[in-house]
Amino acid sequence: MIIFLKCKCWFFAFAFLLIPPATQAATWFALEAMGKVSGATVEVDLESLRSHGDKRELMTRITFSQPQKEQNISFQSVIAELEISCSTDQDIWKSINFFLNSGAEGKPLSSVNFGPDGISIRVLKMLPEKAWATLQRSTCGRNTTLFP
């Protein structure tokens, strides 16, 4: 570590920590049934999955088959931070980065952070109920959906 600091490369290590999560490398796992059900491909960053009691936090990449419109922007994919509750129906969006291209490539067109309380999936309806049910089952390790 001391050799690392002596070579004055510390700036690059610090700069890497400042790169937004949407642009850092991720291990995406596709939930294949989604594309057939909702017209969207939903992928989960396996390395981002965190457990806090009965809640699971994770990063999700959603690519729509057709361009979507939200907040006066047209986009085809998003990277979103979600909080899924395994015991209640309080699933929320914590933040969303909107991208023009599929696969969330390039720079985000817009980013929204909903704060620590997030925004309910019922307020911002970007995915059909079946897609949320699949996410809940997968994230909470269930065979059935607790809440439709």
10 domain-assigned: no
Predicted local confidence at residue 48, as pLDDT: 92
Predicted local confidence at residue 129, as pLDDT: 75
Predicted local confidence at residue 38, as pLDDT: 64
1 domain-assigned: no
80 domain-assigned: yes
Predicted local confidence at residue 23, as pLDDT: 46
20 domain-assigned: no
Number of domains present in the structure of the chain: 1
State the DSSP string of the chain. Answer: -HHHHHTT-HHHHHHHHHS-TTTS---EEEETHHHHHHSEEEEEEGGG-EEETTEEEEEEEEEEEEEEEETTEEEEEEEEEEEEESSSS--EEEEEEEESSGGG-SS-SEEEE-TTT-EETTTS--S-HHHHHHHHHHHHT-SS-S--
13 domain-assigned: no
Predicted local confidence at residue 5, as pLDDT: 43
Question: Which residues form the domain of 36?
Answer: 25-140
Give φ, ψ of 52 to 5 degrees.
-135, 90
Q: Give every residue of the chain whose pLDDT is below 70, as ranges.
A: 1-25, 32-38, 143-148
97 domain-assigned: yes
9 domain-assigned: no
Indicate which CATH number applies to the domain containing 104. Answer: 2.40.128
Predicted local confidence at residue 88, as pLDDT: 84
